[in-house]
């Protein structure tokens, strides 16, 4: 049969369901195998900076999904420290001309644009509600979606003999997903506490939670991560 005679109808599944409904169906599947926890985890808290967490200050770029997101993230981070496990905080900023944003910074140029998050600006500052232990936690500014890209994260995890990465922060469809894909690609068991991640739109949030759950991570309730850490307190 000639190659040009091979013709197939589209096989992509189409369902009259919302992204949230599709996610809940996947979440309810008890047969879905997990990657699970390993021996030692690190908590990577992604971009809890005012540009993304303070809709009162920056309504065009900030988002709130679960009102207790930061509270849960602080609890998980404190429990990780108590268990002798590393906690990492990232945020995004660029130099004055935005040139280090690369092609990512070329699509728009407004006061709310990504490349216009400048070092030490109000948009760069961490949300005052987050609890960072400056003496213990690793804190760095990144330029691209993944927390692994051109950052000290990989070497830090190797030094601490980490085999499991817990991801919190935002956005679910952006930096959380990008970090999750790279985390799995680097051989880490990857866990996303559902209440600890957020996005601008419900559809983006749940569509990416579905994708993470099916392919790259275990999406679990925050309490499960807390319970695992409590059992390992030093």
**Exposure string over 86-109, b if 16+ CB within 10 A, otherwise e:** bbbbbbbbbeeebeebeeebeeee
Instruction: Give CA separation, 48 vs 69, 183, 211, in Å.
Output: 10, 19, 23
Catalytic residues: 175
For residue 103, which of 92, 117, 91, 114 has the smallest C-alpha distance?
114
Structure tokens at 221: 């309730």
What span, in angstroms and rounded, lies between the C-alpha atoms of 117 and 176? 19
Residue 190, SS3 per DSSP = strand
What span, in angstroms and rounded, lies between the C-alpha atoms of 85 and 156? 12
């Amino acid at each position: 049969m000639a190659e040009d005679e091979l013709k197939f109808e589209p096989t992509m599944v189409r369902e009259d369901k919302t992204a949230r409904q599709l996610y809940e169906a996947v979440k309810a599947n008890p047969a879905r195998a997990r990657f699970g926890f390993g021996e030692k985890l690190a908590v990577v808290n992604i971009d809890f900076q005012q540009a993304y967490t303070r809709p009162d200050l920056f309504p065009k770029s900030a988002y709130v999904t679960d009102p207790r997101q930061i509270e849960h993230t602080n609890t998980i981070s404190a429990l990780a420290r108590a268990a002798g496990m590393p906690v990492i905080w990232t945020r995004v900023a660029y130099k004055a001309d935005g040139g280090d944003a690369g092609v990512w910074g070329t699509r728009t140029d407004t006061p709310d644009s990504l490349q216009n998050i400048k070092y030490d600006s109000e948009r760069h500052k961490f949300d005052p509600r987050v609890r960072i232990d400056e003496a213990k936690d690793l804190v760095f500014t990144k330029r691209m979606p993944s927390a692994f890209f051109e950052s000290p994260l990989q070497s830090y995890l190797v030094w601490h003999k980490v085999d499991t990465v817990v991801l919190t922060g935002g956005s679910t469809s952006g930096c959380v997903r990008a970090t999750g894909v790279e985390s799995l690609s680097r051989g880490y068991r990857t866990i996303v506490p559902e209440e600890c991640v957020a996005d601008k739109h419900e559809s983006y949030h749940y569509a990416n939670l579905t994708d993470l759950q099916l392919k790259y991570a275990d999406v679990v309730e925050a309490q499960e991560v807390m319970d695992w850490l409590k059992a390992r307190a030093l």
